[in-house]
Amino acid sequence: MEYSREPFTGNFHFGPFLLKKSVEVFYVSKLSYGIVNLKPIVPGHVLVIPKRVVKRFKELDLNEVYDLWHSAQLIGGRLEQYYHVQAMTYCVQDGEAAGQTVPHVHVHVIPRRAGDFERNDQVYEMLEASSSYLHGSRKWEIDTEERRVRTEEEMEEETKLLRTLFM
Amino acid sequence: MEYSREPFTGNFHFGPFLLKKSVEVFYVSKLSYGIVNLKPIVPGHVLVIPKRVVKRFKELDLNEVYDLWHSAQLIGGRLEQYYHVQAMTYCVQDGEAAGQTVPHVHVHVIPRRAGDFERNDQVYEMLEASSSYLHGSRKWEIDTEERRVRTEEEMEEETKLLRTLFM
């Protein structure tokens, strides 16, 4: 099976949420897509998601695993170049006890810089704080925490920019 | 390309280290293998590694990515059953700034339980503490830290056990 870029047609879901394509989706392959984050922990922190809504990594079939991780590799490579970083974190929180908050498999792809967090592993603390927000709502509103939730306009701007990396 | 189980023949490396096959390697596919940990952060914390020694995820070719993640999925599924857990963490620390300490791509596959760490994200703190050990040596000795490095006999016992999950 080949994985390939695809047009931005159809409806894309993230668990129970219908994604706003022009605002959130920057990459589409045959079986996966890439979306920007409501509350990224660093610039370029994106998610790669199988189109089919299943909760756990083990539920993906062979073609989906193939497409998901080739997409993650491609996206990670382009982000690393674009953001001029020398490292990436790839992480799947697979099930609630692993910190999963949206019941739809997703790979966190996170550009990393030396010293980007006070402790190197703090990236995951931020990741969980970030994810836990989604427990509540996905409304576009200012958060009371240190990092604020982005506006729809900010997300759309990033989505436009990131789409240019995959043309 | 099909991924398939393979015999335990040849030499397997983890970065600069030559692995002790009977002690450490519990799974072999065409392009990847699964190894137990010198200092696992929870029971069943293992690594999945491409046979070819390259540092970064982006250096893997399509077949290697395919084989690596199908192997990780297969191994994760079996470990989840065997350890009776409901969640898994899959994580690649891809480059030093992302916490990579051995210059050879590896996927951490970690069985997770509710409450297994005081804070859910503490798993990553442990992960980094665990990895940092490898900076020094891979000698089989008692560590001065809270978690001790396992003996070669303990690792061999786990390797034998895990091999039975893939027969």
Assign A82 to helix, strand or coil. helix
B70: its two tokens:
């199908």
| Closest CA in chain B for residue A100 | B87
A3: nearest CA in chain B?
B62
In this structure, is residue B1 part of a structural domain?
no
According to DSSP, the β-strands at A17-18 and A13-14 are: antiparallel
pLDDT in tens, chain A (167 residues): 445 678 888 899 999 999 999 999 999 999 999 999 988 888 999 999 999 999 999 999 999 999 999 999 999 999 999 999 999 999 999 999 999 989 999 999 999 988 887 777 777 777 776 664 443 444 444 344 455 678 999 999 999 999 999 98
Measured at the CA of A72, the angle between CA A67 and CA A75, to 5 degrees, comes to 120
Q: Which among A62, A87, A127 is the nearest to B95, CB-wise?
A: A87
The tens digit of pLDDT for each residue in B64-114 reads: 999 999 999 999 999 999 999 999 999 999 999 999 989 999 999 999 988
Q: Which of A94, A123, A130 to mutate to test the interface with B (most CBs of B within 10 A)?
A: A94
Tell whether B6 is covered by a domain.
no
Measured distance CA(B14)–CA(B53) in Å, rounded: 7
Supply the ipTM of this predicted assembly: 0.89
For residue B127, tell me if it sits in a domain: yes
Active-site option among B13, B84, B104, B106 = B106
Contacts (Cβ under 8 Å, ≥6 apart) of A76: A88, A90, A109, B57, B58, B94
Give catalytic status of residue B106 as yes or no.
yes
Buried b (16+ CB within 10 A) or exposed e, A90-127: bbbbbbebbbbebebbbbbbbbbbeebbeebbbbbbbb
Instruction: Report how far apart the first and last C-alpha atoms of chain A are (Å, whole number).
Output: 22
- Coil/strand/helix, residue A151: coil
DSSP secondary structure letter of residue B92: E
A–B CB contacts, 8 A cutoff, strictly below: 132
Q: State how many domains chain A has.
A: 1
In a domain, A27, yes or no: yes
Residue A136 forms part of a structural domain: yes
Cα–Cα distance for residue pair B47/B62, rounded to 1 Å: 20
Whether B8 is in a domain gets the answer no
Q: Is the pLDDT of residue B144 over 60?
A: no
The nearest alpha carbon in chain B to A66 belongs to: B66
Q: Which domain holds residue A25?
A: 13-164
Name the token pair of A37: 């984050």
**Within a domain: residue A117?**
yes
A127–chain B Cβ distance below 8 A for any pair: yes
Residue whose pair of structure tokens reads 């047009």 in the numeric block: A7
**CATH assignment at residue B52:** 3.30.428.10
Cβ contacts (< 8 Å) between A94 and chain B: which residues? 76, 87-90
B152 lies in some domain: yes
Burial of B82 (0-12, 13-18, 19+ CB in 10 A): middle
Q: Is residue A14 within 8 angstroms of chain B, CB to CB?
A: no
Residue carrying structure tokens 């297969």: B74
For B29-39, what is each residue's pLDDT tens digit? 999 999 999 88
